[in-house]
Structure 1
Amino acid sequence: MQATEARKIFDDFWDHQEDITPDAVPVALDEALTWLIRELENGRVRVASPTPDGWTTHGWVQTGIQLLFRSRRTRPMTGMLQNWYDKIQLQSAGEPDYWSRRHCRVAPPATVREGAHIGAHTVLMPSYVNIGAYIGDDCLIDTWSTIGSGAQIGNRVHISGGVGIGGVLEPIQSAPVIIEDDCFIGARSEIAEGITVHRGAVLAMGLFLGGSTRIVDRQSGTVSYGHIPENAVVVPGTYPGRDGRYALHCAVIVKRVDTKTRQRVGLNAILRDLE
């Protein structure tokens, strides 16, 4: 099956989704959904993908994932440490060597739902990866972090402990959170609402980023939204209220680092030297 064929099938059935139940899944849709899960896991199909002009969101993939939920029956699932009752199967279910064949290290009780892509040499500590997420090669997803549906994580990204990366499946065509290559996300940070963290950025611990969060460049004083620039070092800050009484949370770009600086001082030193 080709992507164009699957897209047409999803678009056609989306207009009649109320007719789809676990007991009444048309053969063409079932085959397209099976193809979609396989292609998502192999990384050949993504909820969003990079282009020379930026990132493109593929709404037809989001449509397919939502149709998958309509076509699946909630059922018991048995695991090594606990049991589940869900519609979406765990990716490694019934295959003891599943992750070793993919050259990944997965520490229990890390959970990856089917339809997520995990790149080679990536390490998952006890964490959660939802359907449609893409995680590149050589990443570390640390303990109690969550990667939401459709979130896009590049190569060589370090997601520290307790980080929340927001997901999005609806409205259709909504942009997911994107973390590009070589980024570091500090512990207990939350990134949601279609934020893009561009290549090489370093985010300090406890940073909360949403679509309405002000991103302030300390050197220039400019305020922006939605995008963390390449190689920016970003810390939590406050933005003064108009009445002078209350301050609101913001993200402050304190400086930028180049590749040589990163290699010389390391990520921890960068976060400790913010002046």
Structure 2
Amino acid sequence: MTLQSDIEDLWNRYDDGLTAADATADDYDTLEAFLTALEAGEVRAAEKRDGSWEANAWVKQGILLNFGLRDIETHTYGGVDYHDVLPLRDTSDLPGRGSRNTPDGTVIRRGAYVGGDAIMMSPAFVNVGAYVGDGTLVDSCDTVGSCAQIGEDVKLGANTLIGGVLEPVEGAPVVVEDGVSLGAGCRVTSGFVVGENSVVGENTLLTPRIPVYDLVEEEVVYGHLPPERRAFVRYVESSVSDHELFEGGAYKPAVVATDIEETTLEATEREDALRSN
């Protein structure tokens, strides 16, 4: 038996009505081994296969089982009681790998992976199933949601939100690939993929519902920012722009992506590119 088959078997029993009262000591050993494997980076909620990110459904099942088969317990953090089914992650392994988490509010939940030479600035929160790669900075007031996959040498600017995608189990989580820099206040949600070595301007919202005007390939894409792009927010006319309740027109957000090597782009070129789509 493998950890995956053990989790899948336990999931099937849970789906058939298994409760915490019925679970055995071996079942809880399986759940503990699963969380330990997540924290060691041995299993991940999603992986890149043939160029595309795919969710590992059994890993998400394992996370959900830890919620469904555990009771709420009282834990203490920073002298304050909190109540949860999982304790916080033991971070004693971080110094040996050159990683650090600053005091007064840095919260890393059980089942989260933090790579080597990483920095967690307070107050930041990394949720269960999340993966934070080597050399990555999670800045103050950042949230890394459940199952989010953050690559190596990534910079998450202060007050950045990386959304969590735990259900459905088949749904790919948010992915921020290697070498990405997200400006302060960015939000990445709903399984959006930020391509490697991209730079995203502050306060940019990246979600599959908002179009990305890729000026490099001259196309509009949804759900991902291609690699090697510099991205920022623009506002384009909405379909209700001519409504009588909106004086001067109504607008909706869009994202414009240019070549990472391109330092400037004439405003007229930007407008032409937007209006042509």
Question: What interval of TM-score do these two structures reach, taking the shorter chain for normalisation?
Answer: 0.7 to 0.9
Residues 91 and 112 in structure 1, CA contact (< 8 A), matched pair in contact too: yes
Residues 36-82 of structure 1, C-alpha deviations (whole Å, 9 max, x = no match): 10110000100001223321210111111111011222111112353
Residues 158 and 185 in structure 2, CA contact (< 8 A), matched pair in contact too: yes
Q: Which residue of 1 aligns with 2:89?
A: 91
Greater gyration radius:
2
Residues 184 and 200 in structure 1, CA contact (< 8 A), matched pair in contact too: yes
Superposed, which structure 2 residues align to 1:221-260 within 5 Å? 221-244=218-241, 245-253=249-257, 255-258=258-261
Distance 2:71 2:77 in 1: 18
Distance 1:8 1:34 in 2: 15
Distance 2:31 2:163 in 1: 24
Distance 2:44 2:36 in 1: 11
Are residue 163 (structure 1) and residue 167 (structure 2) matched? Answer: no
Corresponding residue to 1:120 among 113, 116, 133? 116
Residues 217 and 252 in structure 1, CA contact (< 8 A), matched pair in contact too: yes
The answer to which of 67-76 and 144-153 deviates more is 67-76
Please, which runs of 5 or more residues in structure 1 have no aligned partner?
A: 262-269
Superposed, which structure 2 residues align to 1:119-198 within 5 Å? 119-126=115-122, 127-198=124-195
C-alpha change, 1:58 and 1:220, in structure 2 (3 Å) is closer
Residues 10 and 63 in structure 1, CA contact (< 8 A), matched pair in contact too: no
SS of equivalent to 1:19: coil
Question: Between the two proteins, what is the percent identity of the paired residues?
Answer: 28
Q: Normalised by the size of structure 1, how large is the TM-score?
A: 0.87
1:105, distance to aligned residue in structure 2 (A): 0.7
Q: Which residue of 2 aligns with 1:13?
A: 13
Amino acid at match of 1:123: I
Distance 1:219 1:103 in 2: 38
1:103, distance to aligned residue in structure 2 (A): 2.5
Please, which runs of 5 or more residues in structure 2 have no aligned partner?
A: 242-248, 267-277
Are residue 104 (structure 1) and residue 99 (structure 2) matched? Answer: yes
Residues 11 and 65 in structure 2, CA contact (< 8 A), matched pair in contact too: no
Q: Normalised by the size of structure 2, how large is the TM-score?
A: 0.86
Q: Which residue of 2 aligns with 1:73?
A: 71
